[in-house]
Structure 1
């Protein structure tokens, strides 16, 4: 498969501490990749660099062959890279559909934004359906549950037509039912997008991950399938909290 994201020699230093220390990562087009590791491993810092929020000290990040290092966040978005945060960023006073409509207008010229919109566009309707929010279209975003807000934020990315989605702990704080629905949402999105998920929930990982990258102390410790990662004694020791001789179930 063709690589859509290529990270090479990425190094980020904060006050003498190497948050990322020579990270190499390749994500192929159409992948559903999970990124895991203990707290402080560099997962969110890596996402911040890819999306232009943090400038690396050294290294390269190429998306579809275009160098992202040095680009501002809005330019990265326009190239087709979207991300969510651990806390969903939605406009609480606006309805669900208005949040999606506003996000969809990101790529429209100013003259189109000034026109009064009639009805719901096809792309907004599709995002409502994909995110499972059609029945809540007219509800204010402020009354949504934690899980529904996360789904809305993902929908707001989808209407911007990204090729690569970076999701930072999308199931944190969710109920079991919400986690299952989010897993189904990720599987639907991954049919037409490349998706990278930062996650701590190992049960969720075992059920939905295809390929996994483990970070530790700012470096890639292991990559492979869920089974390969779980069988690696180094991963069990530093992340899964088990001794080298103990099996992971």
Structure 2
């Protein structure tokens, strides 16, 4: 579904990405990890059109994404969240989801009063577990609930690929577990890429992992394969090797 070849990004002489190759299959739940400055968020920015690469190609389901505007990439079926949840605080949970679900509709249709809740919105409410909060203002939600709402807003758009940037940052243990279950469920009928620093979360929920370091792919494979790679242990020098890739021991 997603194929990146020789992605390079230079920022005023600083090489943020130095020739990244990445292939993600349809229906895969891929985790993207690496120390700060490894290029993880920059790579997501390239896929979504926020950053144009200096060179390289980004193929998504037969489309070349390089040079396309962000909203065009969204319409092709690519959605993302950010490290800080972006929701409309003055609107209710339901209104946020409804607005997100309407992005494909023409402007004139948005002026008309809604009648009932669409299937896409109902499904997003159900999958995120926010049904009881549907009429509550997004501004009063907890940190975890805001993150789930943003994921729900993506689901309401019916994307094929979801890119989630540190979705469990700042969450309690219970919220992390609930988010892990949510992502596992989403991955049954979507392709998901997760940028994450929480290594215990990675250990519990990741299947395939790609490790970035200094703007390049260091290694990739299963959690066990990545954990055993001496290069990964060296990158995370200063921590126990087991902590570096989330053995939980």
The counterpart of 1:149, out of the listed 142, 146, 150, is 146
Change (3 A) 1:245 1:102: closer
User: Counterpart in 2 of 1:64?
Assistant: 61
**2:57 & 2:65 partners in 1: Cα distance?**
8
1:164 aligns with 2:161: yes
**Equivalent-residue separation in structure 1 for 2:242 and 2:128 (angstroms):** 42
Q: Please point out which of 114, 119, 139 is paired with 2:116.
A: 119
How many residues end up aligned between the 2 structures? 246
Contact 2:90-2:139 within 8 A present in 1 as well: yes
Q: Cα RMSD between the aligned structures?
A: 1.6
Paired residue secondary structure (1:106): coil
State the match for 2:223 in structure 1: 226
- For structure 2, the residue ranges without an aligned partner over 5 or more in a row are none
| Unaligned stretches of 5+ residues in structure 1 | none
Determine which of 12, 16, 23 is the counterpart of 1:15: 12
Shift of 1:236: 1.0
**Distance in 2 (alpha carbons) for counterparts of 1:28 and 1:76:** 18
Looking at structure 2, the residues matched to 246 and 120 of structure 1 have their Cα atoms a distance apart, in angstroms, of 45
Residue 142 to residue 8, structure 1, CA distance change in 2 (3 Å):
same
Give 3-state SS (helix, strand or coil) of 2:57's partner: strand
Report the alpha carbon displacement of residue 242 of structure 1 after superposing the two structures with TM.
4.4
Q: 1:104 matched to which residue of 2?
A: 101
| TM-score, normalization by structure 1 | 0.95
Structure 1 partner of 2:27: 30
CA–CA distance in 2 between the matches of 1:206 and 1:244?
13
Q: Residue in 2 aligned with 1:182? A: 179
Give TM-score, length-normalised by structure 2: 0.95
Alignment of 1:195-234 (within 5 A): 195-234=192-231
